[in-house]
Structure formats: C-alpha cells, structure tokens
Amino acid sequence: MKRTTAHLADGREIIYFDHDTAPAREQHDPRKLDPVSTASQMRHDPVLDEWVILAAHRQSRTYHPPANSCPLCPSTPDRHTEIPSPDYDVVVFENRFPSLSTHAVGGAGPDLPPLVTQRPGVGRCEVVCFTSDHDAAFATLKPEHARLVVDTWADRTSALAAVPGVEQVFPFENRGEAIGVTLGHPHGQIYAYPFVTPKSRQMLGNAARFADRTGRNLFTDLLAGERDSGIRVVATTTHWTAFVPAAARWPVEVHVYPHRRVPDIPSLTGEERDDFAVLYLDVLRRLDGLYAQPLPYVAAWHQAPVSDPLREHAYLHLQVSSIQRAEDKLKYLAGSETGMGAFITDVLPEDVASRLRAVVV
C-alpha cells in the first residue's frame, strides 16, 4: 500500500491510500476556501449520563449535489473538488463540516442549568472515499480493493487513537438516501470521539458483568452459540462468520465477527483482512439482492475504546443495519423506540437469515 499525505487549501489533511502500482497523486489544492468552523461543542446530559455534540455549522453542508458537481469525485482541469488528484484508489480527508475538530473552541454559550456541563467538541471527523468511481458501491469493489479499504481503516484507527484526548475511533458507512446520505459517491466516515459512546459503554459494561459471573467473554460465547445453531448464519469463511442476531432490532441486521477475538481493525492479520473482504462483499451483495433496489444501510464497526478499562472485554465486529422492512416500506422509529428505546420489529431474524442465504450472488 502506498500512502501519500498532503493538505487542502484550508489546511485540512488529505491522505491517499493506493495500490503499489498507482501513479503519484496531485498534492496541490488551488481552491480559495473559507476557514473550517471550530464552533463544535458538547453538552453533558446528566439524566442519561451522555454527551451530546452540537455542531450548528453543519446545517450549511453540501446537500444532494448533482453527479457532475460531486465534491468527492476526482478533480478535472475544469472543476476542482475535495480531491485535487485526477484519480485515486482510496482517499481520506478531514471533513469540511466536522461534528468534532481538533481545533474546536465552542462551548461558551448561554447560561445552562448547574447540572449540565459543556466543553469544546474536540475530536476529529474524516471522510473515506472508497473509490473514485462515482457510480460504484462498496458491494461492487473487487476483493483486492476492498482489502485496501480495510488497510485504510486500520491505518486511520491507529493514527486517530494516538491523538491526545481521543477515546474511541468509529469507522462507519451510511448508504442510501433513505438513511439520510446527502452525497451519492461511495464513501464512509470515521469519527474520533473524546468519550466512549453510549452504546459501547452499555455493551462493554454488560460484557464486564458477564465476565465477573462466568469468567468468559460475552461476545465469544454469543458467536459460538450462533455458529453452533447455524439457523441465523448468513455466510461463513475460514476466519469470519456473518449472522443475523437472534434479538435483531432492525428489519435487516447482520453482524460480522472474526473467529479470533481482537480489539480493533489494526489487530487483524493479513489473512483475516483478505478473508473479511471476501465475506463482506458476499454479504453486501446478498443485502442488495433482497429487493429490486439497493438496500439502504448503516455499517458500523465496533472497536475497543482507546484507554478505558472496559477495553479488555471488547471483541471487534461489524454491524450492518437497514430500515427497509419490505420492498416499499421503511421502519420508522416511532413511540416505543423513540420514547422508550424499546424496539419492536416486524420480521423474524430467522426469516431474514433464510432469505439472505437464498440470494444468488
């Protein structure tokens, strides 16, 4: 893998990740850009014991531009984009409209209740462009290119985990307008949070209590149970298993686990990364085969916190979830889900797994 670092016109970092045979990439950005906002702030909710990120400047971010104005496509002599080079394999750059920023100074605002604390939204948000092909999708990548994306996630996880104050690194992909995606180019993001996220705290807290009771790892036993049953397994390879969890919350939900417990993507071996690329492409193509149109989804990597003691209980895995509950119906978070956090699903996980296995890829 070739790695080339440069800076955009407003000072943001951009990093090209290329196959070894790729040519040199353009590093000069000729655009005139306004400074990136540093107004992000965080407020702590004492009732839920959770941090909420406030980033009002994101209201003006790019919203559904036409394909010929896509900011994630390579630059041309007539149009300069976020990527100065006329081509690329995989590229990462700091978000122009970040929810979190290493330069954040927000936090001085109106009077707040004594129990509510606030501080600058210090962290980092990066955009990961999976390919220069605007009309592609992760599911259409070749295995060797998907492996390059995995190596990119690993590189950025290690780099961002070393940034002072970062407590969790979260690579993810939002795919499809129904999910809320505002740029159609195949891409994902990486958030480097200055706290351990609520979902991770809950999962790892449960794993810690399970370990206290049994001396075993919760995720290891969960994976073993799904593999032994097989009824919800969608696909498996030498190093990975993809399955629909027995208590799936979303209409379509697939979890992808390595057979060896590791805390994060950088800990995967080369063979495990190759094997993941093959399995993940298989899973994504099955998901797209469910209906007559590509499936909207969120793909979320669950990695161990950077320094929190709960890190010892973590087990790297990927969760792919979709709100598409039928060919022409979406799952909306209504009263029970939004008000109480109690999910009600209209489909059985076993049926979803059976349908996914039946898709011809």
Catalytic annotation, residues: 187
**Residue 347, token pair as written in the block:** 């489909």
> How many CA atoms within 13 Å lie on the side-chain side of 66?
1
80 and 146 in contact (C-beta within 8 Å)? no
Nearest CA-CA partner of 157 in 343, 332, 314: 314
> How many CA atoms within 13 Å lie on the side-chain side of 81?
23
- Residue 285, SS3 per DSSP: helix
* Whole-number Å distance between alpha carbons of 38 and 105: 6
* Whole-number Å distance between alpha carbons of 176 and 173: 10
* Whole-number Å distance between alpha carbons of 152 and 131: 12
189 and 128 in contact (C-beta within 8 Å)? yes
**Residue 291, token pair as written in the block:** 């209906």
Following DSSP, what letter does each residue of 77-138 receive, concatenated?
TTB--SB-SS--SEEEEE-SS-SS-TT------S---TT--EEE--SEEEEEE--S-TT--G
